[in-house]
A and B are shown apart, each in its own frame.
Chain A
């Protein structure tokens, strides 16, 4: 089936530094998402993105977070500066269209550890 690729799969970073998580979505998809899963907790919606803009975001999407997809390249989540509580697995997803009936295709996650 369609694949979403995430790079890196794991990253350890010092608190206060910047990190960029990269996502290569399914090629014809137009909607992109980031979810955050802290160990032992549920996967929580952070943000979705369409046509170069943030469409919806949750309270977890702090000011230190930003997303972009320059010229059809990777869809990225940038955290600057990182904090200890940002340690989690971040899942990227994409869908063909909006509306909750559209299937989300997920990547395998990027495990971020902030020390």
Chain B
């Protein structure tokens, strides 16, 4: 089954607005949650991550919110800019010595000017 799911394949936001990207997961054992950014024909790169012992983490314009009871986490990008246009991949990992990350399908964010 699909353990990590991004239900919105695409999102368009006006420049200056807030982009909200959502991710749902199934596995209760996940304890690490991350967002990666990918440009076409480029490698995915880590944007921000959070452990399960916190429910929010901020880094500049980026904030990750974690809702463990709802098995949901999200990425908020404030003051969205055209250069934020990319595919955003959510990922989760189970810890306990496991090194693998499970990725969602990705959401294509377009920031229009």
Contacts and interface: CB of A to CB of B under 8 A. Distances in A.
Interface of A: 1, 4, 31, 33, 35, 41-45, 48, 50, 55-56, 91, 95, 98-109
A100 B99 contact: yes
Contact of B99 (A4, A91, A95, A105): A95
A52 to B, nearest CB: 15
Contacts of A56: 98-100
B45 A55 contact: no
Given A4-B43, A42-B105, A100-B98, 12 more contacts: A31-B99, A33-B100, A42-B103, A42-B106, A55-B99, A56-B100, A98-B99, A100-B94, A101-B49, A101-B93, A105-B45, A109-B43
13 contacts: A42-B4, A42-B89, A42-B104, A42-B105, A48-B99, A48-B100, A50-B99, A56-B100, A98-B99, A101-B51, A102-B99, A108-B43, A109-B43
Nearest to A103: B46
B99 A33 contact: yes
A42 B102 CA distance: 10
Nearest to A47: B100
Closest 3 CB pairs of A and B: A100-B93, A106-B43, A100-B32
A44 B93 CA distance: 13
Interface of B: 2, 4, 31-32, 36, 41-46, 49, 51, 89, 92-95, 97-106
A107 B43 contact: yes
Contact of A99 (B41, B95, B106): B95
Contacts of B99: 31, 33, 48, 50, 55-56, 95, 98-100, 102
Contacts of A103: 46, 49
A41 to B, nearest CB: 7
A99 B49 CA distance: 13
B31 A100 contact: yes
A101 B93 CA distance: 8
Q: Which of A41, A100, A102 has the most CB of B within 10 A?
A: A100
Contacts of B51: 101
